């Protein structure tokens, strides 16, 4: 019998971790769900504390993985829309299940949970304006205008 070696690059867990669970991808996908499946670049920048460079890198990777599609809308100035694909939509239940498991574990351990995430996932009453633009430029640390 030949000895087999573990190849992490061919492991389905590793594949899904890279595709869905890098630092920003779950948040980007759920932001698209919150926005009805279509979001533009500036909306992402307002919803998440992410640099434009990192946002662009993540969106390109998600497009390459078939999770989202990118469309340039011929307006003046041009606008870029990102839309969940069928494959991206199929990952949402998995993301919700992982969030729910994390939320329950954090509650059981008495750990504080991010309020915005709780709003997005139905554990707290939604404040749609706060959810849409929680990281507006120029806001103070406590969120005052």
Is residue 73 a part of any domain in this protein?
Answer: yes
Is residue 137 a part of any domain in this protein?
Answer: no
Three-state secondary structure along the chain? CCCCCCCHHHCHHHHHHHHHCCCCHHHHHHHHHHCCCEEEHHHHHHHCCCCHHHHHHHHHHHHHCCCEEEEEECCCCCEEEEEECHHHHHHHHHHHHHHHHHHHHHHHCCCCCCHHHHHHCCCCCCCHHHHHCCCCCCCCCCCCC
Is residue 67 a part of any domain in this protein?
Answer: yes
Is residue 144 a part of any domain in this protein?
Answer: no
Taking only the tens place, the pLDDT of each residue in 104-145 is: 999 999 999 988 888 888 888 888 777 776 765 444 343 333
| CATH number for position 110 | 1.10.10.10
Is residue 141 a part of any domain in this protein?
Answer: no
Taking only the tens place, the pLDDT of each residue in 5-21 is: 889 888 999 999 999 99
Is residue 42 a part of any domain in this protein?
Answer: yes
pLDDT of amino acid 82: 96
**Domain of 19?**
13-132
The C-alpha torsion from 83 through 41 and 93 to 15, rounded to 10°, is 100
Per the structure, how many domains does the chain have? 1
Is residue 104 a part of any domain in this protein?
Answer: yes
pLDDT of amino acid 34: 86
**For the residues 27-51, what does the mean pLDDT come to?**
87
Is residue 79 a part of any domain in this protein?
Answer: yes
Residue 51: both structure tokens together: 């640099």
What is the DSSP-derived secondary structure letter of residue 83?
E
pLDDT of amino acid 124: 87
């Amino acid at each position: 019998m030949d000895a087999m070696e573990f190849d992490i690059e061919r492991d389905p867990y590793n594949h899904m971790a890279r595709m869905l669970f890098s630092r920003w991808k779950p948040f980007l996908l759920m932001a698209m769900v919150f926005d009805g499946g279509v979001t533009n670049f500036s909306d992402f920048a307002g919803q998440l504390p992410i640099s434009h460079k990192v946002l662009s890198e993540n969106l390109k990777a998600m497009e390459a993985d078939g999770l989202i599609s990118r469309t340039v809308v011929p307006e003046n100035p041009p606008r870029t829309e990102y839309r969940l694909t069928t494959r991206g939509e199929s990952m949402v239940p998995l993301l919700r299940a992982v969030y729910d498991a994390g939320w329950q574990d954090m509650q059981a351990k008495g750990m504080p949970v991010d309020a915005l995430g709780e709003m997005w996932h139905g554990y707290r009453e939604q404040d749609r304006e706060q959810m849409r633009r929680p990281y507006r430029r120029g806001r103070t640390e406590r969120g005052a205008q």
